[in-house]
């Protein structure tokens, strides 16, 4: 009888152990999948019959259109994997090896020849009441590194587009996207198997270019056409 009881206990413990192991493996795989740490195939616009939109402008005169310059600037920033440090810096600009989500945006635009800081400062000076994020005291050292200020600037000065991620043809490389509660990213030229584009961003996540457009609620979608039209 005692042997039978011991056998049942052993089997029960073995089953429990296997269950815990399986649950751990499933949780681990879900974690890896959520953060895009598992190998996955990416696609391009051509795979979905989508024509890539290029800018008519080459602001820095390097032979590369603005949208592609913005994309390449964001990708270069992603490859650097800057340390995420949310801090105020005298002079405004953080060290090159440090960056938050907004730093990827101004650095990407700088690759196309634009100073987002100067553009934002000028727009705040022209219409400070449009920027509640400044709280009545604009500060050039930090205003261009705040998502709410950038969202207002892009709404006022660039082309606003669909917020529906499933209108896949409307999402083009180099576009800018904002999310709740306060995040911002650049649209990649890579897409997932459903045609949704990857994003390039820095939000402490391990993979800086990833399939994450629908991870958070989208609040803005912009194409960098100053004046808001082609």
For residue range 153-165, what is the model confidence (pLDDT) as tens digits? 999 999 999 999 9
Whether residues 25 and 120 fall in one domain: no
In sequence order, which residues have a C-beta less than 8 Å from that of residue 21 and are 6 or more positions away? none
Whether residues 84 and 124 fall in one domain: yes
Residue 151 is part of which domain span?
45-224
On whether residue 76 sits in a domain, the answer given is: yes
On whether residue 119 sits in a domain, the answer given is: yes
Q: In the chain, what is the greatest distance between 2 CA atoms, to the nearest angstrom?
A: 89
Whether residues 14 and 55 fall in one domain: no
Whether residues 55 and 96 fall in one domain: yes
Helix axes 147-157, 101-110, angle to 10 degrees: 40
Going by pLDDT thresholds of 50, 70 and 90, the confidence category of residue 84 is very high
- Cα–Cα distance measured from residue 39 to residue 132, given in angstroms and rounded to the nearest whole number: 43
Whether residues 104 and 208 fall in one domain: yes
Percentage above 70 pLDDT, the chain: 84
The model's pTM is 0.85
Give the model confidence (pLDDT) of 96-140 as tens digits.
Answer: 999 999 999 999 999 999 999 999 999 999 999 999 999 999 999
H or E segment to which residue 137 belongs: none
CATH number reported for the structural domain that contains residue 176 in this entry: 3.90.1720.10
Domains in the chain: how many in total?
Answer: 2
pLDDT of residue 230: 45
Whether residues 113 and 180 fall in one domain: yes
CA dihedral 196, 198, 201, 202 (to 10 degrees): 110
On whether residue 229 sits in a domain, the answer given is: no
């Amino acid at each position: 009888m005692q042997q039978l009881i011991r056998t049942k206990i052993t089997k029960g413990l073995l089953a429990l152990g296997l269950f815990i192991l399986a649950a751990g493996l499933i949780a681990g795989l879900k974690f890896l999948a959520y953060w895009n740490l598992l190998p996955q195939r990416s696609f391009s616009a051509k795979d979905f019959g989508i024509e890539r939109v290029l800018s008519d402008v080459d602001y820095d005169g390097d032979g590369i259109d603005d949208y592609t310059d913005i994309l390449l600037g964001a990708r270069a920033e992603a490859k650097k994997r800057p340390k995420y440090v949310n801090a105020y810096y005298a002079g405004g600009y953080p060290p090159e090896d440090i960056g938050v989500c907004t730093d990827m945006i101004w650095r990407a635009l700088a690759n196309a020849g634009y100073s987002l800081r100067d553009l934002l400062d000028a727009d705040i000076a022209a219409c400070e009441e449009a920027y509640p994020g400044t709280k009545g005291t604009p500060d050039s050292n930090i205003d261009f590194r705040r998502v709410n200020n950038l969202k207002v600037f892009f709404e006022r000065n660039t082309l606003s587009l669909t917020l529906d991620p499933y209108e896949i043809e409307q999402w083009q490389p180099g576009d800018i996207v904002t999310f709740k509660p306060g995040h911002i990213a650049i649209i990649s030229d890579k897409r997932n198997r459903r045609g949704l584009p990857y994003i390039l961003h820095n939000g402490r996540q391990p993979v800086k270019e990833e399939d994450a457009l629908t991870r958070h609620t989208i609040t803005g979608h912009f194409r960098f056409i100053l004046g808001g039209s082609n």
